[in-house]
Amino acid sequence: MKRVLSGIQPSGNLHIGNYLGALKNWVRIQYDYESIFCIVDLHAITTYQDPAELRRKIEETAALFLAAGIDPKHSAIMVQSAVHGHAELAWMLTCVTPVGWLERMTQYKAKAAAQETIGDGLLQYAVLMAADILIYQAAIVPVGEDQSQHLELTRDVAQRFNSLYGETFVVPETELPSVGARIMGLDDPEKKMSKSVPGSGHAIGLLDEPALARKKIMRATTDSQPAIDFDKIGPGVANLLNIFQAFGGWTDQQMQAHFAGMRYGDLKKQVADMVISGLGPLQKRYNEIVSEPGYLASVLAQGAQRVTPIANSTVELVKRRMGLYTES
C-alpha cells in the first residue's frame, strides 16, 4: 500500500484554508493509503512561538485532526518532534541541498521579509519538510497550493540524493484539491489566508463561534460591483464563492446557476450559512475529544510508536548509503 504523509504547523489557530486545502482531503483519502498525519512543531519554531502557547496549540491541532475525521485506528497521528529521525535526516539532506534552492522559496522570502532577524531554521524549513516526507518513503503528499514549491524541492532533493548515493528515496507526488487549494484572506484577497497573519478579519478559525464567523464573512473585502458577474469577477468575490463551493461540493455549473446576478450581501449570508453548517459537526466532535481525559495523549503516543520503526529504518539506510557509522 502506498504511503501518504502530510502535516500542519501548530503555529496559531487552524483556519478554513487549512481545512479545505489540507485536512478535508486527508480525511477523504486516508483509507486509500497507509496514512501518516503530523503536527509539525519543529516547523512552527522557525518563527518565535511562546512556549506555553505552542504546547497548547500542539494538542489543539491534534484534536482538530481527530475532529475533522482522521481515524486514529487507521491513520497515524503524531507530533514531529516525538520522532527523532525527522531532525536527524534533515541534517543529512541539508548537506545535499544547494543554498540557492532554498533562497528561491517564496515562503522563505515572504516570512523572512516579515522578520527583523531571521533564524537559520526559516531557510532550512523546506529541507526539514523534505525529511518529513522522505523519511516515510511517502508516495503522495496532499497539501494546499502554497506548498507546491516545497514539494518540488522535496522531489529535487530526493532525486539528487538518489543520484549521488544510489536509489534510496521514493520521489513523492503532490496532491492538490480541485477546489479550495488556495483560500485567500478575507481582509485581503490578494494574500493567502494564514495562521500567522494578524488581524481579526483575516481568517475564519475552525473553532470560531458561528456569530464570529458570520461577522468576519459579512465584513469580507469584495469590490465596487453590486452583484456577481461571472464574466468579471474580483478576487474577494471569487474567494467567497470558492469557500462556498469547497464546503458544499457544488459543481461549477451549479455555482453559476445559483449565484449569477446575486447581490454581495446575499452571497455573504449564504457563504456564512454554508461555513457555519460545515464547521458545526467538527466543533461538536472537538469538544467531545478534548473532554475525554487521556484520549489525545494516547492517540499521539500510539501514532509515534507506529511510525518510529519506519523512520528509524530510513535513517539507517541513509547512514549506510552515505558511509556514516552504523552498528550493523
Judged by CB under 6 A, the chain residues 80 through 119 that form the site for ligand ATP are: none
Determine which one of 2, 57, 109, 195 is catalytic: 195
Nearer to ligand ATP, 85 or 177 (CB): 177
Interatomic CA distance for residues 47 and 55, integer angstroms:
15
Determine which one of 192, 232, 268, 269 is catalytic: 192
Judged by CB under 6 A, the chain residues 139 through 178 that form the site for ligand ATP are: 143-144, 146-147
Select the residue interacting with ligand ATP from 124, 154, 194, 245 (CB under 6 A).
Answer: 194
Select the residue interacting with ligand ATP from 3, 5, 11, 68 (CB under 6 A).
Answer: 11
Nearer to ligand ATP, 204 or 296 (CB): 204
Determine which one of 57, 111, 216, 268 is catalytic: 111
For the CB of residue 203, give the shortest distance to ligand ATP in the complex, in Å: 8
For residues 140 and 33, the answer to whether their CB atoms sit within 8 Å is: yes
Nearer to ligand ATP, 10 or 85 (CB): 10
Active site residue 111: yes
Q: Is 68 in the site for ligand ATP (CB under 6 A)?
A: no
Binding string, residues 16-55; x marks residues near ligand ATP by CB under 6 A: -xx-xxx---------------------------------
Q: Is 320 in the site for ligand ATP (CB under 6 A)?
A: no
The residues that bridge with 3 in the sheet, in sequence order, are 34
Nearer to ligand ATP, 195 or 216 (CB): 195
Active site residue 192: yes
61-64 contact pairs (CB < 8 A, 24+): 61/8, 61/10, 61/14, 62/296, 62/299, 62/300, 63/286, 63/289, 63/290, 63/296, 64/14, 64/23, 64/206, 64/207, 64/282, 64/286
| Grid cell digits, residue 229 | 458577474
Nearer to ligand ATP, 110 or 260 (CB): 110
Nearer to ligand ATP, 13 or 302 (CB): 13
**How many CB atoms within 10 Å of residue 226?**
11
Span of 12-20, 165-173, 253-261, 264-272 interacting with ligand ATP by CB under 6 A: 12-20
Span of 24-32, 181-189, 274-282, 319-327 interacting with ligand ATP by CB under 6 A: 181-189
Q: Is 192 in the site for ligand ATP (CB under 6 A)?
A: yes
Q: Where are the alpha helices (DSSP H) in the chain?
A: 16-18, 24-29, 41-44, 51-68, 85-94, 99-103, 106-113, 120-134, 148-165, 210-218, 235-248, 252-259, 264-290, 295-322
For the CB of residue 237, give the shortest distance to ligand ATP in the complex, in Å: 17
Select the residue interacting with ligand ATP from 36, 58, 193, 304 (CB under 6 A).
Answer: 193
Total binding residues for ligand ATP by CB under 6 A?
21
Interatomic CA distance for residues 156 and 130, integer angstroms:
10
In eight-state DSSP terms, residue 22 is I
Q: What are phi and psi of 15, to 5 degrees?
A: -125, 175
Cα radius of gyration rounded to whole Å, the chain: 21
Let me know the angle formed at the C-alpha of 145 by 144 and 148, rounded to the nearest 5 degrees.
Answer: 105
Non-local (6+) Cβ contacts of 221 within 8 A are 186, 187, 188, 189, 236
Cite the active site residues.
111, 192, 195
Interacting residues toward ligand ATP by CB under 6 A: 8-9, 11-12, 17-18, 20-22, 143-144, 146-147, 181-183, 192-196
